[in-house]
């Protein structure tokens, strides 16, 4: 099969970096005052025309029949999808009942559908308001079960009406930590986090959010769920006027590299309220003028593995371990066998090559590979900087050479015993052209994988355009591509290698229903082709059909089905297959 060189593809990938891509989602306030009300149809229409330029998703808070109906109809006209939020409170049954009544009336009016609604949250920071600033400070912790009861009530009703979108509880990260039962109860983990309110500098805000988010991402994986950040942002009213732009730039780059689904808070500066700081979180000002500090470029990077001697790959630790403990050495560089999982940490071995700045970005740590020192050099990861020469690298004849004054090479000595954790040391030494310094950068879009199901030990196979599993390898070299796959963790595409790269087809789930058939179509940016590998449970989640996973049925076909982390038909292993792919 003809495969283009990884160097050519890396250059093409870097050249296609998107300028000002859309936000994943944006929060939108329908109110006209602190006490409620609803914007009129003209205001909402004008708002959505502006938001359509920046996102395809909005999140609202509070369900009122007339207002929410207007929002959903106007959003559909502008091509926007809506995440609905119920404004219920812990232990206040009347607030939930009024919201539930409005929801049922919207369903009866056929205003809600599986295409236009992204999901429903039964509360937003209700636990935080009760246990941190309200009655829960003195009243114990026994009443959080009321929110879980509301969740089950809403989900049961919506499922009875054949709605398949997720039902969640949105709250702060601290509340999910305090009540870990939430991870297993919700259809998707939904958290809020504001580095701004934790007195972080704008330059460190996005990275601090990432370190907090990664903990909850691991815990969500263990529960068999995906996770979204439902509110995060920065005010333009305080500190330095450019801080909002700095945080937003970093957040958008972080989201692009990590596939971190974040709803930015918020769409517009508020016209009401006396607190100027709280009023000034908008992307647009009160006159719908986009703030000048929002014109930001987002760099798309090229995901690779760094193959070293002995079949090992170079990795970097993140901030959280697979045993649900904090890592004591985040960012430490090491070498070990690749992930074939589960359980494991796939992100540890995924680097992203920044061809424009000659940097290697560590997915697990959100930092860049760096060589520093005087006479001797030390290898580490540190916060990324386009101006730091210690973070610039050249790929020369199968070695990775620093561009700082030392011009040393990355060195993996597999002849010495590994550390107690099975990891080999990765160092930086004068270049010597020996095997310990031979490093191959392999793009994940071209690196062949074998994907197996735990239940039957069957191999994922493309058979006459259908997705199947088979217990034996196909015969004949021409057929090998039918059982060989690639997975790009940035684009989230699973591609079959049964065709030439120019005609490559990807796995697609056209419909969000249980037992849905899967198809193969030419690889694209279509959201129906996006998948997320859960390296803790082995599930392969659909990225946008939230709550659905690949399921290898006993009939030999693979379907889209409701996710169940305990179902061996949904537990997959992914094994890299080494061959000559023309590394950089």
Alpha-carbon dihedral sign for residues 197, 202, 208, 209: positive
Q: Quickly tell me which residue has 């392969």 as its tokens.
A: 540
pLDDT tens per residue, range 300-347: 789 999 999 999 999 999 999 988 899 999 999 999 999 998 999 999
pLDDT of residue 22: 87
pLDDT tens per residue, range 10-49: 444 444 444 447 899 999 999 999 999 999 999 999 999 9
Beta bridge partners of residue 506, listed in sequence order:
495, 521
Strands 409-412 and 485-488: unpaired
Structural domains in the chain, CATH included, are 19-294 (3.20.20.80), 302-443 (2.80.10.50), 449-576 (2.80.10.50)
Q: What 3 state SS string does 297-317 have?
A: ECCCCEEEEEECHHHCEEEEC
In this prediction the pTM is: 0.94
* C-alpha triplet 72, 77, 79: angle, nearest 5°: 90
Residues in the chain: 584
Beta bridge partners of residue 252, listed in sequence order:
none
pLDDT of residue 294: 62
pLDDT tens per residue, range 136-175: 665 555 578 899 999 999 999 999 999 999 999 999 999 9
- Are 165 and 120 spatial neighbours (Cβ–Cβ below 8 Å)? yes
- Are 320 and 214 spatial neighbours (Cβ–Cβ below 8 Å)? yes
- Are 569 and 576 spatial neighbours (Cβ–Cβ below 8 Å)? no
**Regions of the chain with pLDDT less than 70:** 1-20, 136-142, 292-296, 579-584
Tokens representing residue 584 in the block: 């950089």
pLDDT of residue 532: 99
Output DSSP code: residue 36.
B
Q: Which residues of 495-529 are buried (b: 16+ CB within 10 A; e: fewer)?
A: bbbbeebeebbbbbbeebbeebebbbeebeeeebb
């Amino acid at each position: 099969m003809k495969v283009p060189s990884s160097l050519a593809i890396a250059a093409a990938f870097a050249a296609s970096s998107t300028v000002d891509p859309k936000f994943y989602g944006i929060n939108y306030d329908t109110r006209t005052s602190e006490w409620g009300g609803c914007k009129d149809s003209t205001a909402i229409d004008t708002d959505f025309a502006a938001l359509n330029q920046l996102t395809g998703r909005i999140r609202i808070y509070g369900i009122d029949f007339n207002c929410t109906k207007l929002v959903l109809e106007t959003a559909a006209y502008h091509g926007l999808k809506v995440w609905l939020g119920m404004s219920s409170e812990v232990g206040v049954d009347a607030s939930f009942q009024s919201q539930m009544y409005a929801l049922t009336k919207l369903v009866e009016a056929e205003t809600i559908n599986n295409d236009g609604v992204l999901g429903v949250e039964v509360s937003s920071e209700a636990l935080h308001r009760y246990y941190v600033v309200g009655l829960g400070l003195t009243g114990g912790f026994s009443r959080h079960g009321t929110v879980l009861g509301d969740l089950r009530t809403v989900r049961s009703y919506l499922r009875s009406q054949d709605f398949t979108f997720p039902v969640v509880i949105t709250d702060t990260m601290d509340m999910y930590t305090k009540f870990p039962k939430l991870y297993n109860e919700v259809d998707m983990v939904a958290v809020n986090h504001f580095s701004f309110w934790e007195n972080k500098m704008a330059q460190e805000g996005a990275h601090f959010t990432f370190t907090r988010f990664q903990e909850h991402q691991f815990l969500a994986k263990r529960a068999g769920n995906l996770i979204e950040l439902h509110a995060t942002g920065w005010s333009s009213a305080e500190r330095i006027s450019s801080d909002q732009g700095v945080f937003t730039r970093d957040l958008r780059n972080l989201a692009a590299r990590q596939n971190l689904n974040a709803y930015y808070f918020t769409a517009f500066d508020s016209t009401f309220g006396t607190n100027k700081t709280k009023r000034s979180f908008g992307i647009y000002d009160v006159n719908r003028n986009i703030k000048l500090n929002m014109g930001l470029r987002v760099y798309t990077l090229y995901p690779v593995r760094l193959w070293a001697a002995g079949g090992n790959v170079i990795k970097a630790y993140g901030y959280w371990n697979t045993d649900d403990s904090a890592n004591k050495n985040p960012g430490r560089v090491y070498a070990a066998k690749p992930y074939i999982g589960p359980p494991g940490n796939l992100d540890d071995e995924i680097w992203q090559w920044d061809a424009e700045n000659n940097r290697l970005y560590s997915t697990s740590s959100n930092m860049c590979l760096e060589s520093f020192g005087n006479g001797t050099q030390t290898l580490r990861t540190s916060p990324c900087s386009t101006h730091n020469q210690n973070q610039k690298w050249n790929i020369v004849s199968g070695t990775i050479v620093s561009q700082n004054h030392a011009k040393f090479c990355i060195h993996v000595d597999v002849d010495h015993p590994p550390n107690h954790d099975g990891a080999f040391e990765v160092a930086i030494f004068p270049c010597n052209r020996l095997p310990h310094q031979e490093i191959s950068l392999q793009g994940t879009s071209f690196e062949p994988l074998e994907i197996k199901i735990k239940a039957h030990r069957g191999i994922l196979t493309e058979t006459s355009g259908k997705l199947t599993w088979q217990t034996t390898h196909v015969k004949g070299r021409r057929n090998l591509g039918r059982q060989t796959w690639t997975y790009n963790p940035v684009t989230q595409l699973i591609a079959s290698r049964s065709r030439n790269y120019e005609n490559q087809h990807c796995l697609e789930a056209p419909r969000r229903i249980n037992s849905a058939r899967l198809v193969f179509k030419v690889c694209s940016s279509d959201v129906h082709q996006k998948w997320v590998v859960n390296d803790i449970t082995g599930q392969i989640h659909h990225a946008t059909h939230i709550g659905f996973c690949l399921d290898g049925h006993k009939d030999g076909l693979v379907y889209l089905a409701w996710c169940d982390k305990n179902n061996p038909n949904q537990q997959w292993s992914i094994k890299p297959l080494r061959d000559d792919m023309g590394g950089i």
